[in-house]
């Protein structure tokens, strides 16, 4: 016999949270249900899952729209990072994603340093194009000006 269950968590090889899957009775009874990885697919549970999926979909659309607005703002922004530099244009220390995030914060833009995809720290004065990953679908290019204090 087979049982329909709604997954409450991602189960490798079976599905992701919210999926309705058909599994063997023993698998549901002995593994999925006791570990709270799934629940029986009753009409009430199906309605609840649909509400959760709808709310998740709306939240993801809202996050995507916010990321697009932030990407537009970053594209038009010039981020200036003042540093101490030597005679030949080499700077003391380096400009990292954390210092770029801090400079953006001074401009009134909140970006997590982990989203700034700086391959190597910047070690000289100049203008650099730095990619920023704001969302899985939204990337922006930020113009960073490293200038002498």
pTM above threshold 0.85: no
pLDDT in tens, 94-133: 999 999 999 999 988 999 999 999 999 998 899 999 999 9
Query: 2-65: which CATH topology?
Result: Ribosomal Protein L9; domain 1 (3.40.5)
Mean pLDDT by 10 residues, the chain (149 residues): 91 90 94 94 92 90 94 90 85 91 92 92 92 92 92
> CA gyration radius for the chain?
24
The total of other beta-carbon atoms located within 10 Å of residue 72's CB is 12
Is the torsion defined by CA of 49, 55, 60, 61 positive or negative?
positive
pLDDT at 90: 81
For domain 68-148, the question of CATH label 3.40.50.2000 is answered with no
């Amino acid at each position: 016999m087979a049982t329909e269950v709604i997954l409450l968590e991602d189960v490798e090889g079976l599905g992701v949270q919210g999926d309705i899957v058909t599994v063997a009775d023993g698998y549901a009874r002995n593994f999925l249900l006791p570990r709270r990885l799934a629940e029986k697919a009753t009409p009430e549970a199906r309605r609840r899952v649909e509400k959760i999926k709808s709310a998740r979909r709306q939240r993801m659309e809202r996050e995507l729209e916010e990321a697009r607005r932030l990407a537009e703002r970053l594209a038009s922004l010039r981020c200036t990072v003042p540093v101490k530099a030597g005679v030949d244009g080499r700077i003391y220390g380096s400009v990292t994603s954390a210092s770029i995030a801090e400079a953006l914060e001074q401009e009134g833009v909140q970006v997590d340093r982990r989203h700034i995809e700086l391959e190597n720290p910047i070690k000289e004065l100049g203008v650099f194009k730095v990619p920023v990953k704001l969302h899985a679908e939204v990337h922006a290019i930020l113009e960073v000006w490293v200038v002498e204090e």
